[in-house]
Structure 1
Amino acid sequence: MSAANSSPEGNCKFAIPKKGRLFQKVDDLLKGAGIEYTRAPRLDVAVCKDLPITLVFLPASDIAKYVGEGNVDIGITGLDVVEESAVKVDRVMDLGFGACKLCVQAPVADKITDVSTLAGGRIVTSFPVLSKQFFAKFDKEKGVTTKITEVSGSVEAACGLGLADAVVDLVETGTTMRAAGLEVVGEVLATESILISNPNCGHPDIVKMLTRRIEGYMVAKKYVMISYNISNDLLEAALKITPGKKSPNITALAETDYKAVTCLVLKKEMNKKMDELHDIGATDILTFALSNTRM
C-alpha cells in the first residue's frame, strides 16, 4: 500500500464490504455504534476518528480469506463466504441482516422432488466448495461424481442455456429465481452477515468494545422504551403486557395508589402494547426511541 492507502502501525484492521447493499447496511451499523470515519475518494482504507481502528474496504467475497490469513484482524461478511473460503476464523457475533439461504435450484418444468437425483449431473454455482460438500454424500451413495462448474455471475441463466441441470445460488426473496423458471429443491446453508476475527487477533479489547457497541445499537434498533402510569390494583395485569426485556422499572408516585412503569418493548409490538395498556386503564402512555444501549 502507498502511505495514503495504508494503516497506522498498531491499529486494528477492520475489513468491511466496499460497495453494494451490504456496504450500506454495515455503514449504518458502524455509524450507529459510534464508529466514525471519512473515506477519501478512490482509497481503500479509512482511519477511524478517536479509535485505533483502520477500516479496509474489500469485496465481501474476499473478506473471510483476508481475516483467516491474518492480513486484517476482523471483518464483516456473510456466513456463506466464510464457509466457502474454508478458512479458520472466530465467529464473534451474528448481525441480524443479510439473511438468505444458499439453495439448490432446478427448473420448475423438471418437477424434481428429491435433490439426490441431481447427483452425477451438472451444477453451476459461485460456491463450488459448498456445492461439492453438499453433493459429496449423494455421490458416495450412488457411486457417481457431480460436475461442479464455477461461474462468477448469471448463475440462474445456466439451466435455460442448457449448461446445467441445476444451480446452487443464494435465495433472498426468490424473485430472480422464479423469473428464471427455477425452484428450490434443496437447502445447502442458511446464512446472514456476521462479525468475524482472526483466531490470533492481537486486539481483543477492541473486539470486545466493538461487540458491546454493536449489540447496544442492535438492541436500540429492535426496541423502544415505553413509560406509563398504572393503579396498584392493575399493576399485575399491566406487567403481563409489558414484562420488559429483562424486567420493568417500577417507581412509586406521589399519588400512592399509582405506580410509574418503564421498560423495553419490541418496536414491532409498540402500538399493540400501547392499545392493550390503554384498554386495561393505564394512563400517560409514552414511547421513546433509543439511539444506543448498554445492557
Structure 2
Amino acid sequence: MTTDTKPLGGRIALVAGATRGAGRAIAVELGAAGATVYVTGRTTREKASEVGRTTETIEETAELVTAAGGEGVAVPTDHLEPDQVAALVERIDREQGRLDILVNDIWGGEHLVVAGFGKKIHEMALADGLRMLELGVKSHLITSAAVVPLLIRNPDSLLVEVTDGTAEYNGTHYRENIFYDLAKTAPIRMAFALSHDLKPSGGTAVSVTPGWLRSEQMLDHFGVTEENWRDATEKLPDFAVAESPVYLGRGIAALAADPDRARWNGQSLSSGQLAKEYGFTDADGSRPDAWGFIVAKETDENVSVDDYR
C-alpha cells in the first residue's frame, strides 16, 4: 500500500551501479519514497573496482537507503559477468517475487574519459576505448537481458537508462571522442528499443540524463566539496549551472511514482525537464537546467547562468 509520503511503498527496485554519484542518489531517493532497493556495484568495503575509489561502497549506499526510510540491500555485482547478474536476478525473485523498477546506471569509466578526452580514434589506446564500450554498453545489455523477464511479469514496471546527454543533443554533437560518444549515445537508443519490449506488458522504458553533475569524482577534480562547490566557478564560471546527484534522484523517484508515466515511453529525458514536469528542486532549492543553458550558450555567449537555475 502506498501513501502520499511513501508513494513507492511496497515497490521493489534495482539500481545497477549505485556505488556513488547519480546511482547512489537515485537509490536513496527511491528509498525515501518507500521502496526496497537492491544496490549493486563493484566497490565494497573489502574490495575496490578499477575506478580506484575506496571512499564510497555499495554497503554504505544500502545503509543510506535504509536511513532515508526504505530498505537497502547491497549485492556486490560485476554487470559484465552474466552469471553474477543472473544470480542477482534469481535472488531478487526468490526474496521478493517481483521487480518494479530497474535503473541501469552502470559506468565507472571516468578515468578513461580523462585519458582520452579530445583524442581521435587513432590517438587513443584501443583497449581503453573498448573498455568504455564494455562499461557503458555491454554491461547495460547484459543487465537488461537478465532483468526484463522479471520486469514484464509486472504490468506497471519502469526501466531507466541513465546516460550523459539527451537524444537531441547527442544526436547533433560530438561527445569528446568516438568511444565516449558511442557509450553515452547507445543507452538512449537502448531505452527506445526496450520501450517496444516492455510496452506489451504495460511497462515503460526511458533514458534520463543529469546535467553537469556534482558527483564525488567531479568535486574532487575541482578540489571542492558539496558545501563550497561554488568556489569551482572561479576556474570555470559555467560550473555555476551544476546540479547535485539528489536532483536526478528526485526526478526518477517522481517518475516512478507517476501513474501516467507511460506517456514518456521510449523518450529521452533530462533532470531539468523532469523538475519542470514534477515540480521538485535540487537539494539547495534551485531548479537548474544545464542542457538548456548549454544549448543556449551556443548561440549567445553572454547567456546568464542565473536564467537556468
Structure 2 length as normaliser, TM-score? 0.29
1 or 2, which has the higher helix percentage? 2
Instruction: Determine which structure has the larger strand proportion and give its number.
Output: 1
Structure with more contact order per residue of length (Cα contacts < 8 Å, sep ≥ 6): 1
Q: TM-score, normalised by structure 1?
A: 0.30
